[in-house]
Amino acid sequence: MKIIIDKRGKKYIVNNEEFQSDLGIIKKEDIEMSKIGDTIKTHLDKEFKVIKANINDYIDIMKRNCSIVIQKDIGTVISHTGVGYGSKVVDAGTGAGAIALNFGNIVGETGKIVSYEIREDFAEIASENIENFGLKNIEVKNKDVKEGIEEKNLDLIFLDLIKPYEIMEDCFNSLTLGGWLAIYAPYIDQIETSYKIAKKVGFNKLTILETLERELEVKTQGTRPKTRMVGHTGYLFFGRKI
């Protein structure tokens, strides 16, 4: 997938049709003929660079009508659980598909992601986003995961649900030996209850994490942390079937 980016850093998806923005119009034929690395101009002589979209570029500008799990938390889930090429993952709920796309991008052609979403409108948008990015290893099910996880011998189950602790036993039974359960939740009581029930069900290596992100700024006067930071977004719970 190719996208275009202006000098302000704003990114746009292009689909071989006339493009319009506040910086002017780019002709359909100019977009069709453009290649990765080209610079194309609007009728107002404003420049856009054509780049190949990676997963983060696409998620930044894809369609959504809900909040998504952001990079700092996604990265922690991936690194803590060791999910990788060939892994089989269940994700619930899907939302706009951001976490499913990240998992699908990592597990490769031999891996498989199945994402459960109870809301039909969310499931439709997520399916559209996944199809537009071109990944073939993700399946979205418009189904309540509490009705049962159909997949077995999973390497990872990731839950972004209001009451994730309601399906702990089903998660345990659906994981392969050595598989991980990961839960994202904004409130500590959700995670506390999940921890207690996961321990009772038989999960090991129980861990609760909160990832905070603070960027540094470099100025003439010196280098220091930025005043604003990405603080609390959600708590992450991990448990392993051993």
Predicted confidence at residue 8, as pLDDT, reads 92
Q: Which residues of 125-155 are buried (b: 16+ CB within 10 A; e: fewer)?
A: bbbebbeebebebbebbbeebeeebebeebb
Q: What is the mean pLDDT of residues 106-111?
A: 97
Q: In CATH, what number does 63-240 get?
A: 3.40.50.150
If we measure between CA atoms, which residue out of 61, 34, 27, 29 comes closest to residue 50? Answer: 34
Predicted confidence at residue 159, as pLDDT, reads 98
Share the mean pLDDT of the chain: 95
Query: Residue 122 above 90 pLDDT?
Result: yes
Predicted confidence at residue 15, as pLDDT, reads 82
Which residues make up each annotated binding site for S-adenosyl-L-methionine? 117, 144, 160
List, for residues 153-194, the tens digit of each pLDDT value. Answer: 999 999 999 999 999 999 999 999 999 999 999 999 999 999
Which residues make up each annotated binding site? 117, 144, 160
Q: How confident is the model at residue 118 (pLDDT cuts 50, 70, 90)?
A: very high
Architecture of domain 2-53: Roll (3.10)
- 180 pairs with which residues across the strands? 156, 240
Predicted confidence at residue 16, as pLDDT, reads 78
* Domain segments of the chain as ranges: 2-53, 63-240
Q: What is the mean pLDDT of residues 55-66?
A: 93
Query: Residue 65 above 90 pLDDT?
Result: no
Contact between residue 137 and residue 107 where contact means Cβ atoms under 8 Å apart: yes
CA distance 107 to 87: 5
Phi, psi of 19 (to 5 degrees): -110, 135
Contacts by 166-171 with C-beta closer than 8 Å and gap 24+?
Answer: 168/194, 168/197, 168/198, 168/200, 168/201, 168/203, 169/201
- The predicted model scores a pTM of 0.91
